[in-house]
Protein backbone atom coordinates (compact mmCIF):
# COMPACT_ATOMS: atom_id res chain seq x y z
CA UNK A 1 0.00 0.00 0.00
CA UNK A 2 1.24 3.50 -0.85
CA UNK A 3 1.21 5.63 2.30
CA UNK A 4 1.99 9.30 2.74
CA UNK A 5 3.08 11.30 5.74
CA UNK A 6 0.58 14.13 6.15
CA UNK A 7 1.93 17.42 7.44
CA UNK A 8 0.00 20.51 8.52
CA UNK A 9 1.83 23.79 8.97
CA UNK A 10 0.57 26.84 10.83
CA UNK A 11 2.65 29.58 9.21
CA UNK A 12 3.28 32.99 10.78
CA UNK A 13 5.77 35.78 10.12
CA UNK A 14 7.93 34.79 13.11
CA UNK A 15 7.48 31.02 13.36
CA UNK A 16 6.00 27.89 11.81
CA UNK A 17 4.32 25.14 13.83
CA UNK A 18 4.36 21.75 12.15
CA UNK A 19 2.34 18.61 12.88
CA UNK A 20 3.22 15.40 11.04
CA UNK A 21 1.06 12.29 10.97
CA UNK A 22 2.06 8.96 9.44
CA UNK A 23 -1.07 6.78 9.25
CA UNK A 24 0.92 3.61 8.52
CA UNK A 25 3.07 3.79 11.66
CA UNK A 26 0.91 6.03 13.84
CA UNK A 27 3.92 8.31 14.33
CA UNK A 28 3.02 11.87 15.32
CA UNK A 29 5.53 14.69 15.49
CA UNK A 30 5.15 18.35 16.49
CA UNK A 31 7.78 21.00 16.01
CA UNK A 32 8.02 24.78 16.21
CA UNK A 33 10.68 26.48 14.09
CA UNK A 34 11.60 29.92 12.83
CA UNK A 35 9.72 31.08 9.74
CA UNK A 36 12.52 30.17 7.33
CA UNK A 37 11.75 27.87 4.37
CA UNK A 38 15.16 26.19 4.72
CA UNK A 39 14.41 25.26 8.34
CA UNK A 40 10.98 23.91 7.38
CA UNK A 41 12.57 21.82 4.61
CA UNK A 42 15.19 20.54 7.07
CA UNK A 43 12.42 19.42 9.47
CA UNK A 44 10.49 17.78 6.64
CA UNK A 45 13.65 15.86 5.73
CA UNK A 46 13.21 13.80 8.91
CA UNK A 47 10.18 12.03 7.45
CA UNK A 48 10.01 9.19 4.97
CA UNK A 49 8.64 10.32 1.61
CA UNK A 50 6.19 10.76 0.07
CA UNK A 51 4.97 13.78 2.01
CA UNK A 52 1.76 15.76 1.62
CA UNK A 53 2.04 19.23 3.13
CA UNK A 54 -0.74 21.78 3.62
CA UNK A 55 -0.91 25.22 5.18
CA UNK A 56 -3.55 27.93 5.33
CA UNK A 57 -3.28 30.90 3.02
CA UNK A 58 -2.55 34.16 4.73
CA UNK A 59 -0.15 37.07 4.82
CA UNK A 60 2.82 34.71 4.43
CA UNK A 61 1.82 34.17 0.80
CA UNK A 62 3.17 31.40 -1.38
CA UNK A 63 6.92 31.72 -0.75
CA UNK A 64 7.05 28.59 1.40
CA UNK A 65 4.90 26.59 -1.05
CA UNK A 66 7.15 27.53 -3.98
CA UNK A 67 10.25 26.63 -1.98
CA UNK A 68 8.89 23.22 -0.97
CA UNK A 69 7.61 22.44 -4.47
CA UNK A 70 11.02 23.30 -5.92
CA UNK A 71 12.45 20.71 -3.50
CA UNK A 72 10.00 18.10 -4.83
CA UNK A 73 7.53 18.19 -1.94
CA UNK A 74 3.79 18.11 -2.60
CA UNK A 75 2.54 21.30 -0.93
CA UNK A 76 -0.96 22.76 -1.01
CA UNK A 77 -1.99 26.20 0.21
CA UNK A 78 -5.59 25.98 1.44
CA UNK A 79 -8.03 28.87 1.59
CA UNK A 80 -8.84 29.23 5.27
CA UNK A 81 -12.41 30.27 4.48
CA UNK A 82 -12.98 26.91 2.74
CA UNK A 83 -11.70 24.67 5.54
CA UNK A 84 -14.31 22.75 7.48
CA UNK A 85 -14.37 23.36 11.21
CA UNK A 86 -16.41 21.41 13.72
CA UNK A 87 -19.23 23.40 15.31
CA UNK A 88 -18.08 24.76 18.64
CA UNK A 89 -14.40 24.35 17.74
CA UNK A 90 -13.34 27.77 18.98
CA UNK A 91 -10.12 26.90 20.72
CA UNK A 92 -7.36 28.11 18.44
CA UNK A 93 -3.73 27.35 19.05
CA UNK A 94 -0.96 27.05 16.49
CA UNK A 95 -0.34 23.41 17.37
CA UNK A 96 -4.03 22.56 17.13
CA UNK A 97 -4.39 24.38 13.79
CA UNK A 98 -1.42 22.42 12.39
CA UNK A 99 -2.92 19.13 13.64
CA UNK A 100 -6.28 19.87 12.02
CA UNK A 101 -4.56 20.57 8.70
CA UNK A 102 -2.54 17.34 8.87
CA UNK A 103 -5.66 15.30 9.62
CA UNK A 104 -7.74 16.72 6.75
- Residues 48-104: pLDDT tens digits? 899 999 998 888 889 999 999 999 999 999 876 555 555 555 556 666 777 777 676
* Cut 0.75: pTM above it: yes
Residue 89 DSSP SS3:
coil
Measure Cα distances from 61 to 13, 75, 91 in Å.
Answer: 10, 13, 24
In this structure, what are the phi and psi dihedrals at residue 60, rounded to the nearest 5 degrees? -75, -20
In this structure, what are the phi and psi dihedrals at residue 89, rounded to the nearest 5 degrees? -85, 85
Q: Can you identify the CATH homologous superfamily of domain 5-103?
A: ATPase, nucleotide binding domain (3.30.420.40)
Amino acid sequence: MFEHTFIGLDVHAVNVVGHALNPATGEISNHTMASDPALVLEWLGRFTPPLKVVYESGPSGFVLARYLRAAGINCVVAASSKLLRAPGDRIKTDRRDARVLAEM
